[in-house]
Amino acid sequence: MDRVISRTTLRGAAFLLAGASVFLLASCREDMHNQPKFIPLRENQFYADGRSARPQVEGTIARGQLQDDPLLYTGKVNGQEVDQFPFAITEKDLARGRERFNIFCSPCHSQLGDGNGMIVQRGFKKPPSYFDPRLMKAPAGHFFNVMTNGWGAMGDYSAQVPVADRWRIAAYIRALQLSQTAKSSDVAAGQKLVSHAPENGAGVTSKLEAHVTDNREAK
């Protein structure tokens, strides 16, 4: 009899313990589910302005977003567009610039840079040719600035094209300009002239690299 009572008591205790555990777990979840918190963009009377979302502290800069090189991020020095590149332009950079140019720029500017791209042929406003005297004299920083902030009917491409690629595109634009105005005297001694446009702008790489290096050293 004692053994039967003991088993019954143990069984009841087990059920009570299980029920208590379930109750505690349910209570814990309910407390977490209903805990005080701010819902994004929802009104909250805790703050005087009634907003749950708090404004950023003045001067806050997101991690990795410190733009401490004006030339790299704006194409300007002391507020003026300059004919300098923030890093040395190599043949690999020109090839990358050509690829990005053909993707993002050629629909309007054409692969030649004469402003007669497919979008223009279908009725949209024609952009100026890169061989226009004004743009032939424009500094490299101008092309970077236009890609970053837009110009006239052209929107900005800062979201689509990273900073470094914008500079590579600017370098390729300069290469296109050089390809249309180069003279035999521009060819370095020992190099041969070609009768067709190179695939990646290699024909003007040496002159462009020298131009970039000279300007960078003058900074």
In this predicted structure, which of 10-19, 27-36, 40-49 has the lowest mean pLDDT?
27-36
Buried b (16+ CB within 10 A) or exposed e, 154-180: eeebeeebebebbbbbbbbbbbbbbbe
Whole-number Å distance between alpha carbons of 82 and 141: 5
Residue 209 pLDDT: 46
Q: Are 118 and 101 in contact, with CB atoms under 8 Å apart?
A: no
Residue 46 pLDDT: 85
| Secondary structure of residue 29 in the 3-state scheme | helix
**pLDDT > 70 fraction of the chain, expressed in percent and rounded:** 74
The candidate with the shortest Cα–Cα distance to 124, out of 141, 107, 147, is: 107
**Would the pLDDT of 215 be above 50?**
no
- Please compute the mean of the pLDDT values over residues 17-38 and round it to a whole number: 65
For residue 132, what pLDDT band results from cuts at 50, 70 and 90? very high
Residue 128 pLDDT: 94
Residue 56 pLDDT: 82
Which is more confident, 85 or 32? Answer: 85
**pLDDT tens for each residue of 51-62:** 888 888 888 888
- Please compute the mean of the pLDDT values over residues 11-28 and round it to a whole number: 65
Residue 10 pLDDT: 65
- Please compute the mean of the pLDDT values over residues 61-74 and round it to a whole number: 89
**pLDDT > 90 fraction of the chain, expressed in percent and rounded:** 49
**pLDDT tens for each residue of 143-201:** 999 999 999 889 999 999 999 999 999 999 999 999 887 777 777 777 766 655 444 44
Residue 151 CB neighbours (<10 A): 15
The candidate with the shortest Cα–Cα distance to 163, out of 78, 68, 92, is: 68
Unique residue bearing structure tokens 């634009």: 173
- How confident is the prediction for the chain on average, in pLDDT? 81
Residue 213 pLDDT: 41
